[in-house]
Structure formats: C-alpha cells, structure tokens
Amino acid sequence: MKKGKLALGLSLLSLLVAVLTVFSACGTPATTTTTTPAATTTTGAGTVATGAPIKVGITTPSTGPAAEKGAPIGHGNLDAIEYINAELNGINGYKMQAVWLDSQYDPAKVVTNMKYFMDQGAVIWGTASSKEGTAAMELANRNGFPGLVSFTSPILYRPPQHVYGQLPDYGDDALAFADYYMKNVWKGRAGKPKFAVMILNNPTGFGARDAFEAKAADMGIEMVKPYYEHSDTDVSMMSALTSIKNVKPDVIYISSTPRPTALIIKEAVALGLYPGVTIASGHAGLTKVLVDTDGADVVEGVYGVFPTASWTDDVPGMAKMTEYAKRLHPGDVGNMDYITGWTQSLVMAEAIRNAVKTAGYDVVAKGDAASWKAVETQGLQTLKDYKVGGLHGPVTYVAGDNRLAKSVRVFQIKKGVITAITEWIDAPLVKYETYPWFGK
C-alpha cells in the first residue's frame, strides 16, 4: 500500500473518499462509493483489527420525483457512516464502507442496484422509501439478503421475511392519527366522522389505505370511497378535491411525498376546503420541504405523524448529528428526513456490530449468503432497546414483527414549525396478511 493512502486511511478523522462511477455500456449502475482501504486499525480497547472494510449497500431517490426526501436521507446516511468510522471506531475496529447508489425513485434501477450490492459483497442493504423497498424485496427475500427500509408500507414485511422496517409504517401513521383525532378532536360527537383519503399510487399511499380498510370501522370512522389516488407527477388535484368537497368530509388524510402533499393543501385552500376540514399527513409528506413549498400561512394547523425526534428535542444524539450536518450538509439542518438517514446507518452499524461479536469478522465481512444470514439472525434479530441516541424510538426486534422501532408522535404545524403535540405512541402490530384483500 502506498504511504499516502495509508496515512489517509489512518487519519484522525478517517475521511471517506467519494468515487463516482457513471453508467457504462454494460449497464453498471451509477454509484458513489465511500471507500477505506484495508488497514490495521487500533480499536478503542487498545486491540488491533486488520481487514477490509465491511460493506453496506444504500440506495436513495436522491434525484427524480422524490429527491426532496431522498437527497437529505442519503446525506444523513453517508454523514453518519463518516461519524461511525471517525469517532465510534467503526464496527468493532473495522471500517464501515457505504456503496451508495441513486435509485431516482425508479423500481428498475432499484433492482439493478440490489444486484450490484450483492456482487460487491455488501452484508446488508438499506433504502429510504417503501416504493424502493417493494422493488427490492423479491430479490432480497429469494436470496436471504437482509435489508432495512426507513419509510415502509405493510406489504414489505407482512408476512415477515428478510425486509425490516427501521420505523413504524404508513399504516401505523394513519391509525395513530385516527386514534388521536377521535380522542382529541372529534371528542365523542354524535355520529361518525368522515375521512377522505388522498394517497400516492404506490406503497406510500397503499399502506394508509390498508390500515383504514382494516381498522376504520372498529374505530368508529366512516371512510369516503373511493380512495383518491394520484401520481408523483400530477400537476393538479382540483378534480379529486372538488369531489371530496361535495361529500363534506371531516378529515382529509394524505399519504404522499412532500410535493404532492403541498399541492393538495394549496389547492384545498383555493377551494375553500381548508381551513375548515381537518388535514393530516403521513410521515412521508410531513417535512420542512412541505412548509417551505406552501409557506407557513398555507399549512398552518395541518396535522401529521412522524417517527423521529425534532431538531429542537434535547436528546443525547442530537448535538453530534447537528455538528456533522452543519459541517457537511448545512442545507439539511432542520429537515427530519436527514435524521432518518443518519439513524438508519446507526441501526445498520449496531446490527453488524452484534453479528461480528457473535459470528466473527471473517464470516460477516465476506458478503455472501452465510454473511447475510449472520447479519440477519445474529445482528438485526438480536437488537434490543437500542436507543439510537434518542433520535427515534428504541429499536427492538420482536419475533413475527419486522418493524424495529414502533413509536410515532402526532405533530401540528404552528407558525411554520412542525411541532410535536403528543408523547411517543407505540403502534400496535396489525397482521394485515390475515385480511383476504391484502396484497391484491
């Protein structure tokens, strides 16, 4: 190894090198891969770990129609890995290497990226969205290649296989808000409140739809049918909102990404629907981008659900994450999607750390079927009360439930600030696969 490279690999900050590879004629996916050469590393305990880095595959929709979410999530992923290597001694003394790929929110690219991760010897894969996770899950489940998805829909892991949810899913969002609404807004008024649901036409929306199908009647809620679907490229929601206005709903619940969510709220205001009707958003749409797009006056009073801490919360992991965000991606400060990416990398590292302790570095780092099994069964499935610095709910694997964190909070936008109005709420397990309509 050249002396300059060794010095870089062993520098105090363990700076990561970004290598950009463009699509070639043979179809190799575009990738930015953070690399650290094989090296001898002194661990915090004074021992020495020698070996190649442990690779993780990460794909985010950092360009394309969901870039407003994917870019800050990807930044959080990679910044956290820099922090893990620079300040947490990597994974038991071994460097954590991210093989990062932009999916452009395109399912075909997700599949290509997954194959690349497997070929590169990644020991686990992660992605931001339920749409990406759904595209990845057939390959992952068939090969036993474990994955961690940040924003999920029940279809990803009901019944449980090899895909894990970092956080509660879009169905959990819908039911948490519905329960809050019934107890705190409806407050026992006579009759049943009418819920109109506007959903993105992919698993982001379908998760909320499935939750209401399963539980709305039991909660005393009348659902407006049909569910109003839209795409991530629609330029107007006026037709759907006009139809909704005619049925006089009490609630419009939106499960979509920030841009369509902002469009729906803006046009609801133009139609005179809002203020008046209660509007709430699932966690895919509830982000600083929503406020910035519509303006604080337009979204004032809108409710939502989100599964991470807020940037103003006094929790142990906030200061270090803020330090890295301000230094590396200052434009993401205040965006809760960045928190999601940062914590996803921390959860991955903790799972791999557990697997290395039990199965050994040689088994885990190889990046083959035996490695994947070890990371899943001796890593992900051994997570118990991992606090993630308080940046979201504690991470615990429970057999039969592939959601790792299960806590959400209800928020409301007040003077442009997405403000928590409840304590953490544990989302109960719903066994969607027991309903005959699920997945059809």
pLDDT tens, residue by residue, 374-419: 999 999 999 999 999 999 999 999 999 999 999 999 999 999 999 9
Please tell me the predicted confidence (pLDDT) of residue 39.
38
Asked if residue 249 has a cis previous peptide bond (ω within 30° of 0), the answer is: no
188 band by pLDDT with thresholds 50, 70 and 90 = confident
Confidence of residue 60 (pLDDT cuts 50, 70, 90): very high
Work out the percent of the chain whose per-residue pLDDT is above 90: 87
Task: Pick one of 3.30.465.10, 3.40.50.2300, 3.40.50.12780, 3.30.428.10 as the CATH number of 3-168+313-405.
Answer: 3.40.50.2300
Nearest-Å Rg of the Cα atoms of the chain is 22
Residues 6 or more apart whose CB falls under 8 angstroms from that of 433 comprise 158, 159, 439
Asked whether the predicted pLDDT for residue 147 surpasses 90, the reply is yes
Count of CB atoms within 10 A of residue 179's CB? 16
Q: Which of 129, 102, 251 is nearest to 184 (CA)?
A: 251
Statement: residue 20 has pLDDT above 80: no
Closest CA to 94 of 159, 14, 32, 150: 14
- Which ranges of 216-256 would DSSP assign to H, the alpha helix? 238-246
**Which residue, among 372, 381, 302, 426, has the nearest Cα to 143 in the 3D structure?**
372
Whole-angstrom Cα distance, residue 143 to residue 330?
39
Residue 185's pLDDT is: 97
All CATH 3.40.50.2300 domain ranges in the chain, comma separated: 3-168+313-405, 170-306+409-434
**Helix, coil or strand: residue 235:** coil
Task: Give CATH for domain 170-306+409-434.
Answer: 3.40.50.2300
* pLDDT at residue 19 tops 90: no
Average pLDDT of the chain to the nearest whole number = 90
pLDDT at 11 over 80: no
Other beta carbons within 10 angstroms of residue 87's beta carbon come to 13
pLDDT in tens, 273-324: 999 999 999 999 999 999 999 999 999 999 999 999 999 999 999 999 999 9
β-pair type (54-60, 96-102):
parallel
- Does 131 have pLDDT greater than 90? yes
Share of the chain above pLDDT 70, in %: 89
